[in-house]
């Protein structure tokens, strides 16, 4: 029971509901015409509810995908801006140190630029991963 996921539970519930409703209809003392009418009504009701659920799931999935995309883009932008500011400050310090004759300034400048590139690449990759995961979940909800 611990391995059962929500999807399996919903499918089981839906199938159980259909079987139970069918059994109740067939065991009820009604004429064939009344029974067919009831079955038709229930089938139409189930179709409408399924359509409504599908529409709701699609809308929510789209909302989640949009939200995740916006958040990941804004995070990547903020990190990129902040790392650019740090790089500029370090470049200024490196230039000042170089003008005073310190040899380590070039190494420091190179290290910071390398770190900036790595951080920027990492943030972009994480944002893409989040986007892919959300799109995958949306597609699973659609199907």
For the chain, which residues make up each domain, given as ranges? 60-142
Query: What mean pLDDT, rounded, does the chain reach?
Result: 77
pLDDT band for position 106 (cuts 50, 70, 90): low
Burial, 2: exposed, middle or buried (Cβ in 10 Å; 0-12, 13-18, 19+)?
exposed
Burial class (CB in 10 A: 0-12, 13-18, 19+), 127: buried
* pLDDT tier, 98 (very low <50, low <70, confident <90, very high otherwise): low
pLDDT tens column, 47-85: 888 888 888 888 887 888 888 888 888 888 888 888 888
With a cut of 50, say whether residue 125 has pLDDT above it.
yes
pTM value?
0.40
In this prediction, residue 1 carries a pLDDT of 47
């Amino acid at each position: 029971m611990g391995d059962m996921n929500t999807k399996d539970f919903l499918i089981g519930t839906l199938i159980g509901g259909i079987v139970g409703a069918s059994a109740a209809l067939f065991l009820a003392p009604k004429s064939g015409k009344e029974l067919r009418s009831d079955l038709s009504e229930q089938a139409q009701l189930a179709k409408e509810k399924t359509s409504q659920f599908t529409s709701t799931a699609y809308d929510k999935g789209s909302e989640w995908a949009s939200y995740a995309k916006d958040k990941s883009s804004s995070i990547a932008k903020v990190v990129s801006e902040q790392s650019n500011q740090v790089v500029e400050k370090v470049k200024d310090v490196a230039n000042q140190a170089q003008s005073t004759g310190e040899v380590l300034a070039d190494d420091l400048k190179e290290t910071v630029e390398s770190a900036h590139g790595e951080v920027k690449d990492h943030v972009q990759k994480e944002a893409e991963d989040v986007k892919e995961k959300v799109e995958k979940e949306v597609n699973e909800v659609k199907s």
